[in-house]
Amino acid sequence: MITTFSSAGHEVSLTVNWLKSRPALLAILTEADSVEPDLDFEAFRRSFNDYGATFVWPSRTEAGRASLVWRLMQQMVADIANGIDSDRIGINYASSFTRKTNLNDAWRDFTEQILQPMFDYLTEHVAAESSILYVLERYVRRVEWFDREGLYERAMADTRKTEDVYDEHLRSFLFGEGINMPFSQARSASGESDVLSSLDSDDPLVCEVKVFDAISRKKREIASGFNQAIQYALDYGKQVAYLVVINLSGRALSFVVDDEVKTWPPHLTVSGVRVYLVSVRALPTPSASQQGKASPVVVTVEDLVNPDSPEED
């Protein structure tokens, strides 16, 4: 918005390279590509050479618009790589878009009206994803601080329905937080998802629930939930999913995954789907001063992607 037209190409190059280094943002833009796959990018690009013509977006959705902008910015970088001077980028794309004769004003108009929609789209999606993680963090605290004993008693009353108890509790909590939930499991091509909300919207939430107790429900259960979450996400065209692990083992779960930025919760991307791994300490335990030293249960990438990998203590 504030750069001069002579620096436009340089700034676009920096931005494109930065976005390509951020897997989470790149996943959002990759998903946007699939919303309107038949958009004619070349016609869109050529429209900026039609001086005096009224510009009309060819896309019907915000995702389609973001996809076009992302491809346009990458085309600018390709233009520079092919020998076009950086200062020509601002002239080539912005001067025909607007009637303003001042090139700096023309670039500012172009940035605001053409490029900014992609950044607005990213901001909205990052905010939505952060909101889900915030709600799930509150759920972890709700169980660990307030509901652990009561839930455990209900779960142990009929061990065949242990997972159902926690699944229902999570549904109820999310509904109370304003996330609309179906009251029956939603069916996709891969089966029935434990939690799949907002099916009537363009942006459903995919969330799988699994119980881990290190006895009858081991790492294989976590791997099963991880792979199911990926399949459900792919079925619904999503690139983000959530796996909530109800930990009844009494030992901490440590996910050793490829997470360059050490934030909560850890996540792993497989087949273009980023799965957040949310662990809930759900086993009632004595106070910390009365507990012995317990080594964590380490869950590796191999454990997650290969349900048949050997179990370890």
Q: Residue 198's pLDDT is what?
A: 44
Q: Residue 301's pLDDT is what?
A: 93
- Both tokens assigned to 10: 């340089």
Residue 254 contacts residue 219 (beta carbons within 8 Å): no
What gap in Å lies between CA 47 and CA 282, rounded to an integer?
A: 58
**pLDDT, averaged across the chain:** 84
| 65: confidence class by pLDDT, cuts 50, 70, 90 | very high
- Both tokens assigned to 83: 């020998």
| 192: confidence class by pLDDT, cuts 50, 70, 90 | low
| 139: confidence class by pLDDT, cuts 50, 70, 90 | very high
Q: Residue 114's pLDDT is what?
A: 94
Helix axis angle for 8-20 and 62-81, nearest 10°, is 120
DSSP 8-state code for residue 185: P
Question: pTM (2 decimals)?
Answer: 0.70
Residue labelled with tokens 């605001």? 112
Stretch (H or E) spanning 121:
helix 116-142
Residue 184 reports pLDDT greater than 50: no
Residue 273 reports pLDDT greater than 60: yes
What gap in Å lies between CA 1 and CA 187, rounded to an integer?
A: 45
| 200: confidence class by pLDDT, cuts 50, 70, 90 | very low
- Average pLDDT (117-127) is 91
What gap in Å lies between CA 209 and CA 166, rounded to an integer?
A: 8
List the one residue out of 241, 210, 244, 218 whose CA is nearest residue 298: 218
What gap in Å lies between CA 168 and CA 158, rounded to an integer?
A: 15
- Average pLDDT (195-220) is 76
Residue 30 reports pLDDT greater than 50: yes
What gap in Å lies between CA 143 and CA 182, rounded to an integer?
A: 21
| 287: confidence class by pLDDT, cuts 50, 70, 90 | low
Question: Of the ranges 108-117, 147-156, 210-219, 231-240, which one carries the lowest mean pLDDT score?
Answer: 231-240
- Both tokens assigned to 237: 């065209």
Q: Residue 5's pLDDT is what?
A: 84
